[in-house]
Structure 1
Amino acid sequence: MSRSIEVILRDEIFDEIEIEYPDDHNTNLLDQGIDSAGFIKLIVSIESKFNIAIPDEDLLFENFSTAGLIINYLTAKSIA
Structure 2
Amino acid sequence: MSSSIEDILRDEIFAELEIEYPDDRNANLLELGIDSAGFIKLIVSMESKFNIAIPDEDLLFEKFSTAGLIIHYLTEKTIA
TM range (shorter): over 0.9
Moved over 3 A (4+): none
Indicate the residue corresponding to 1:8 in structure 2.
8
Task: State how far apart, in whole Å, the 2-side matches of 1:31 and 1:23 are.
Answer: 13
Consecutive unaligned residues in structure 2, runs of 5 or more:
none
Which SS does the other structure have where 2:43 is aligned?
A: helix
Counterpart of 2:4 in structure 1: which amino acid?
A: S
Deviations 1:9-60 (A, max 9, x none): 0000000111110000000000100000000000000000001000000000
Indicate the residue corresponding to 2:28 in structure 1.
28
When the two chains are superposed, the root-mean-square deviation of aligned CA atoms in Å is 0.5
Matches within 5 A, 1:1-80: 1-80=1-80
Task: State how far apart, in whole Å, the 2-side matches of 1:12 and 1:79 are.
Answer: 20
Normalising by structure 2, what TM-score? 0.98
What percent of counterpart residues are identical? 84
Q: CA deviation at 1:79?
A: 1.7
